[in-house]
């Protein structure tokens, strides 16, 4: 499988396939695009798979600290699929880098604010004045990350960056709904607009490369055609 990929990406791709997380077929996305592949991070639910995804995130984050000077106090996972990731990745980071990352915290949001008890819509570490790293499953059109950034800022947090499991490398949805037109990259626009670094464990290019050794001709063709249709032009 995907001999060209670095070992940690290869391992993560293999875990995604064996756990049924990465699937091929026909799926409607949050953006309403119809995709021939889908990454369902909710299926990383066994001890082995949860360890595999938190390990891949932790290595990507530690590498980004070393190479790009990424600094953060809190690992934030947007609801819902980001929630278990925020806690498991925080534990893994503390284990791998006890000297630097032992005192980081995690937090996440509620999709609907709680109106009793402690109230509000943030659970875990308070965000005010803290550097916050968003971690999540997938970026497609960037809508979910934009919402997370706005929520964090509203709470007084400073967004330090984003790390996702999969960058689908897609363009922003066209304002007039005409998806045949070229468009700028969803991830590139987020980087520019908020001046933050964004990292991914796997990109669509990595998936297409890896697919060559395990997927059917038909799935490869359909995924390549989808990539050609929705890829960003800048």
Ligand X SMILES: O=P(O)(O)OC[C@H]1O[C@H](OP(=O)(O)OP(=O)(O)O)[C@H](O)[C@@H]1O
Which residues are part of the catalytic machinery? 114, 116
Stretch of 19-27, 99-107, 126-134, 136-144 contacting ligand X, by CB under 6 A = 136-144
Choosing from 2, 77, 124, 142, the residue that interacts with ligand X (CB under 6 A) is 142
How far, in Å, CA of 185 to CA of 169, rounded? 7
For position 80 contacting ligand X by CB under 6 A, the verdict is yes
For position 138 contacting ligand X by CB under 6 A, the verdict is yes
Q: Tell me which residue of 104, 15, 101, 107 sits closest to 62, measured CA to CA.
A: 101
For position 151 contacting ligand X by CB under 6 A, the verdict is no
For position 141 contacting ligand X by CB under 6 A, the verdict is yes
Looking at residue 171, the DSSP 8-state letter turns out to be: B
* Cβ-based nearer residue to ligand X, 15 or 186: 186
167 binds, among ligand ORO, ligand X, none (CB under 5 to 8 A by kind): none
Stretch of 53-61, 96-104, 140-148, 176-184 contacting ligand X, by CB under 6 A = 140-148
* Cβ-based nearer residue to ligand ORO, 50 or 158: 50
**In angstroms, how far apart are the furthest CA atoms of the chain?**
55
38 binds, among ligand ORO, ligand X, none (CB under 5 to 8 A by kind): ligand ORO
Choosing from 30, 48, 128, 229, the residue that interacts with ligand X (CB under 6 A) is 30
DSSP E strands, 40-175: 74-77, 105-114, 120-124, 131-139, 158-167
> Phi/psi at 117 (nearest 5 deg)?
55, -130
Helix (H, G, I), strand (E, B) or coil at 229: helix
Asked if 132 and 109 count as a contact pair (C-beta separation under 8 A), the reply is no
How far, in Å, CA of 77 to CA of 69, rounded? 21
Stretch of 8-16, 138-146, 150-158, 224-232 contacting ligand X, by CB under 6 A = 138-146
State the minimum distance, in angstroms, from the CB of residue 134 to ligand X: 10
Instruction: Quote the distance between the C-alpha of residue 42 and its chain's center.
Output: 13
* Cβ-based nearer residue to ligand X, 109 or 209: 109
For position 140 contacting ligand X by CB under 6 A, the verdict is yes
- Residues within the interface to ligand ORO (CB under 6 A): 29-31, 38-40, 137-138, 140
> Phi/psi at 226 (nearest 5 deg)?
-65, -45
Triad 141, 233, 222: Cα angle to 5°: 70
Q: Write out the residues near ligand X by the rule CB under 6 A.
A: 30-31, 80-81, 136-144
């Amino acid at each position: 499988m995907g001999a060209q990929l670095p070992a940690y990406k290869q391992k993560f791709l293999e875990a995604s396939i064996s756990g049924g997380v990465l699937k091929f077929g026909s799926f409607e996305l949050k953006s309403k695009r119809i995709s021939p592949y889908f990454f369902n991070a909710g299926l990383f639910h066994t001890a082995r798979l949860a360890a595999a995804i938190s390990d891949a995130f932790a290595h990507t984050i530690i590498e980004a600290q070393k190479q790009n000077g990424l600094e953060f106090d809190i690992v934030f996972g947007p609801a819902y699929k980001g929630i278990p990731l925020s806690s498991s990745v925080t534990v893994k980071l503390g284990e791998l880098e006890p000297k630097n990352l032992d005192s980081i915290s995690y937090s996440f949001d509620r999709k609907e604010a709680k109106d009793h008890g402690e109230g509000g819509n943030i659970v875990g570490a308070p965000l005010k004045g803290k550097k916050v790293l968003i971690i999540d499953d997938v970026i497609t059109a960037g809508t979910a990350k934009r919402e997370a950034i706005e929520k964090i800022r509203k709470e007084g947090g400073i967004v330090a960056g984003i790390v996702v499991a999969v960058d689908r490398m897609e363009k922003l949805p066209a304002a007039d709904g005409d998806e045949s037109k070229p468009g700028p990259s969803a991830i590139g626009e987020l980087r520019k607009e908020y001046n933050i670094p964004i990292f991914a464990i796997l990109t669509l290019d990595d998936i297409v490369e890896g697919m060559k050794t395990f997927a059917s001709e038909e799935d490869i063709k359909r995924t390549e055609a989808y990539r050609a249709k929705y890829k960003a032009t800048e």
